[in-house]
Structure 1
Amino acid sequence: MNGSIAVLFFSVSVSSCGIVTEKDSGPITIGVSLPLTGPVAESSKPAYAGYRVWAQQVNKKGGLLGRQVELKVLDDGFDEQKVVSNYEKLIQEDDVDLLLGTFSSKLNLPASSVAERAKMLYIEPSGGAEEIFTRGYDYLFFAQPGTSLNVPDGFVDWLFQLPASQRPRTAAYPTQDDPNTKVALREFQRQLGELGVRNVYSKTYQPDTTDFDGIAQDITAAAPDLVVHGAVTADDGGGLIKALQKWQFNPKMMFQTNAPSLMATYPKAVGEGNADGIFTSVAWSARTNFTDNAKFVDVYTRAYGAPPNDDAANAYTAGQALATAVRNVGSLDQTKLADWLHQNAILTISGALEWDSRGVPRGNLLLAQWQDGRLEIIAPEEEKTVAKPLYSKPSWS
């Protein structure tokens, strides 16, 4: 670990710890803005559920600083101006005690600026675009093990281990116009280019795109060995796959960002059997043995009738980081909370987390692939859930 980081890992179990120096009879209010309506509503709702499960678990164990926690959640409709006004309202009018982040890089980029101006701690569950962390912010933290720049790492490392004759020679790069996916795909192109993979197609489409026929036709004409798709939701992830089926083009390999981790909606969006063979990177898995992970999966599943996905887990992890800082600092002093997180490492359902001075995590994402209707972990070795990945993607069903 970096010398400025304490060697001790702090557990984020919901049991009370730390010295309580503040007491109050009222709840600790935590302000959040989420796109509960709009084009990514279905993807953001699990994040809301993850926050709610976290708050309920904290309150069952006595809350924070002897007070219950209460979420105040506003809807931003996936609009950048609205998310700014929401966080301004939460801070200035509602006078919330703490903040938690919103969904996606697109929204966290402006929202984090509001928090920084107010000098309030801002832990974001998603939004790993590099530009978020280049502004010298002191109160910003990302609650995943890696950022957008890390998305290609596991996949490219796996390709590098293959014999040269088995690696893809050409690739296509369609992506939604989103800060997170665009950064990830630029890094894919750089890393794969260094492996000698030639870019034969690139295209950026708008978030409200529903017709992928033109993109699929162009990809079919380019006939790449590998398609790397910057997908944000199951809608655009499934939309492109269905369009590729229409044009009867089945790439040898396919990687999609984010969408394949939406386990409740993705298989239906792509069609039965069509998820198999598709790679993605995930920050979390229900099947790892990290601290409190099994309990989180059980509580969430019982509450919502389905297992949590990446977005739900990332929100829960953000809450874990917030609670751990408050308990160990023993107050709601925002500067002290940020300083504590910069100086300490914690254990979460996503594994160990520690941050550099920008709030960027020092860790790695998991490489995953759909096999036999399940999202399996391919790497790292100590977390893998299957013996080996599928090299050639099965044909569309």
Structure 2
Amino acid sequence: MARRRTRLVAVGAVVALAATACGSSKAPSSGAAGSSGGTITIGMSLPLSGAVADTSKDGYQGYQEWAAWVNAHGGLLGKQVKLVVLDDAFQQNTALADYSKLIAQNHVDLLLGTFSSFLNLPVAEVAERNKFVYIEPSGGADSIFARNFKYLFFAQPATTERLPDQFVAQIAAMPADQRPKTAAYVTQDDPNTAPATAIFKQKLTALGVKAVYDTIYAPDTSNFDAIANTIKQAAPDLVIQGALADDGVSLIRSFQKVGFSPKMFFQTNSPTDPNFPSAVGVKNTEGIFTALAYSPQAPFPGNADFVADYTKRFNTAPSEDAANSFTAGQVLQAAVTAVGKLDQTGIANWLHANTVPTIVGPLSWDASGKPTGSLLLAQWQSGKLQIIAPSTAATSKDVVLNKAGWSS
């Protein structure tokens, strides 16, 4: 991993986007889509329907925003960008078939990734086998990168193994008599959330936090009453949930139903959704911890302009999913521009040797495509998701150590 970064390429320093046609909210029809004339086609398959459709909508809009910016600023290599989008309905087999189709039948020029470790784990292999650069906006499971693929890159600051770091450090910094004594671990069966929860358990146990409950639930679980009631009986001080989307909201509702509120509560992913406060009630967000790959308040080049233009275009502030998609596009654009042609191997080699400034901060990668940075620790405070660690990025100096009970 000791690799020299030869250049820092400025990309997206100012994101003053103009409105351009870059696709609708519906996936365009398939067909011959290869590069012709003044167009560069970029293929992707996204879960536009199915279990995570609401979350992936934001990610798709992030891709649309990036395409609009590129096209408003002269295109990519002087050509307009066209997104070719298929719907995988959050099904692995469909995603595999879609990316194979994009390469072999649609003859797209470039690829961008889908969402979640669940989908990216198999799809990355399709891209690698066909020697296509594959930049994924989400899906930080370390198992994806254990295969040491050459063409795979993750467009977030860190992977799953680093997700617990800031929260565990927060617990470690507390006086021993104030730390939580017991913890419950509950996670969706997903190659990102399940390993992260296991790391939480390992590190917190080492700090003396006793595990009193540990379970993994199926991705299609919708009723959490039984899990919530069992956790209530165990009465942990701390609950860690490896949530992906609506499952985080569902567990909270079940906690309310059975009458249990932990003193400390950490959830992955779900608390970063813009709809989270309305789904659980603004008062019920208070004190919930999560990890962030992105913050709208972060002072990275182009971020403020991205937030303003995205909000204007879609009438809502960008979520983390939207920002991660935009970032994946920034990374692809930086490499293609630097290489000067659609050379997949050249693009991959360039990314392995360089650092790219993005709206989530400067990104660089090791030989496996794993980013070398770290995530942010955030907490809901007074209706806002505040960054509390590291201190250099903090938007709040306060930390709520004892979460209030649920409010009706």
TM, length-normalised to structure 1: 0.96
Query: Does the CA-based 8 Å contact 1:149-1:184 persist in structure 2?
Result: yes
Match 1:156 to one of 159, 168, 192: 168
For residue 60 of structure 2, what is the aligned residue in structure 1?
Answer: 48
Give the whole-Å Cα distance in 2 for the aligned partners of 1:149 and 1:191.
11
2:360 corresponds in structure 1 to 350
Contact 1:227 1:251 (C-alpha < 8 Å) held by counterparts: yes
**Map of 2:219 onto structure 1:** 207
Aligned residues: 388
Letter of the 1:5 partner, please give it: R
User: Are residue 243 (structure 1) and residue 254 (structure 2) matched?
Assistant: yes
1:57-99 deviations in whole A, cap 9, x for unaligned? 0110001111011100100000000000000000000000000
Q: 5 Å matches for 1:94-173?
A: 94-173=106-185
CA contact (8 A) 1:169 1:196 kept: yes
Q: d(CA) in 1 for partners of 2:216 and 2:313?
A: 38
Tell me if 1:197 matches 2:199: no
* Cα shift at 1:272: 3.2
Partner amino acid, structure 2, of 1:12: V
Look up the match of 2:3.
4
Alignment match, 1:270: 280
Q: Could you tell me which amino acid in structure 2 is paired with residue 29 of structure 1? A: T
Q: Deviations over 1:130-182 (max 9, x none)?
A: 11001120000000001111111110011111111111111101111111100
CA distance in 1, matches of 2:193, 2:219: 11
Q: Distance in 1 between matches of 2:350 and 2:381?
A: 41
Q: CA deviation at 1:299?
A: 0.8
The separation in 2 between residues aligned to 1:47 and 1:5, in whole angstroms, is 32
Name the SS for the 2:309 alignment partner.
helix
- Matched letter for residue 312 of structure 1: A
Secondary structure, aligned partner of 1:85? helix
Q: Is the 8 A contact 1:33 1:74 kept in 2?
A: yes
The match for 2:272 is 261
In 2, Cα distance between equivalents of 1:174 and 1:160: 21
**1:319 to 2:316 alignment:** no
**Cα shift at 1:33:** 0.6
Please tell me whether the aligned partners of residues 14 and 61 of structure 1 are also in contact (alpha carbons under 8 angstroms).
Answer: no
Aligned to 1:230: 242
Give 1:90's match in structure 2, choosing from 86, 99, 102: 102
Q: Tell me, in whole angstroms, the C-alpha distance in 1 between the residues paired with 2:13 and 2:175.
A: 47
8 Å Cα contact 1:200/1:222 also seen in 2: yes
**Aligned-pair distance for 1:26?**
2.7
In structure 2, the residue corresponding to 1:72 is in which secondary structure?
Answer: strand
1:27 aligns with 2:26: no
CA distance in structure 2 between the partners assigned to 1:232 and 1:116 by the alignment: 26
8 Å CA contact 1:15–1:61 kept in 2: the answer is no
What amino acid is the match of 2:329? Answer: G
Q: Distance in 1 between matches of 2:12 and 2:257?
A: 49
Which position in structure 1 is the counterpart of 2:300?
290
Q: Residue 80 of structure 2 is aligned with which of 61, 68, 81?
A: 68
What do residues 244-298 of structure 1 show as CA deviations (whole Å, max 9, x unaligned)?
11111110100000000002x1112222311110000010000010011001101
Is contact 1:24-1:67 (8 Å) kept? Answer: no
Per-residue deviation at 1:388? Answer: 1.6
Using the alignment, how far apart are the partners of 2:295 and 2:118 within structure 1?
24
Please report how far the alpha carbon of residue 4 of structure 1 lies from its aligned counterpart in structure 2 after TM superposition: 2.1
Q: Is the 8 A contact 1:278 1:370 kept in 2?
A: yes
Q: For residue 15 of structure 1, report the CA deviation from its aligned partner.
A: 7.9
Aligned residue number for residue 19 of structure 1: none
- Could you say what secondary structure the match of 1:306 adopts? coil
Q: In structure 2, how many angstroms separate the alpha carbons of the residues matched to 1:332 and 1:114? A: 19
- Contact kept, 8 Å, 2:148 with 2:369, in 1: the verdict is no
Q: Work out whether 1:339 is the aligned partner of 2:349.
A: yes
Give matches, 1:374-385, under 5 Å.
374-385=384-395
Opposite residue 84 of structure 1, the aligned amino acid is: L
Equivalence for 2:28? none
- After TM superposition, the structure 1 = structure 2 runs for residues 294-313 of structure 1, keeping only pairs within 5 Å, are 294-313=304-323
**How far 1:7 moved relative to its partner?**
4.8
Farther off after superposition, 203-212 or 316-325: 203-212
Q: Does structure 2 conserve the Cα–Cα contact (< 8 Å) formed by 1:76 and 1:86?
A: yes
| Letter of the 2:238 counterpart | L
| 3-state SS in 1 of match to 2:283 | coil
SS of aligned partner of 1:64 = coil
Identity between Structure 1 and Structure 2 (%): 53
Q: Deviations over 1:290-341 (max 9, x none)?
A: 0110011011100111100110000000000000000011111000000000
> Residue 243 of structure 1 aligns to which amino acid in structure 2?
S
- C-alpha offsets along residues 78-134 of structure 1, whole Å, 9 cap, x if unaligned? 000000000000000000000000000000001101000000000000000111001
Alpha-carbon spacing, 1:13–1:272, altered in 2? closer, same or farther (3 Å): closer
- Contact persistence 2:14–2:301 (CA under 8 A): no
Runs of 4+ in 1 over 4 A off after TM superposition: none
Shift of 1:193: 1.2
Task: Report the counterpart of residue 392 of structure 1 in structure 2.
Answer: 402
The alignment's C-alpha RMSD in Å is: 1.4
SS of residue matched to 1:218: helix
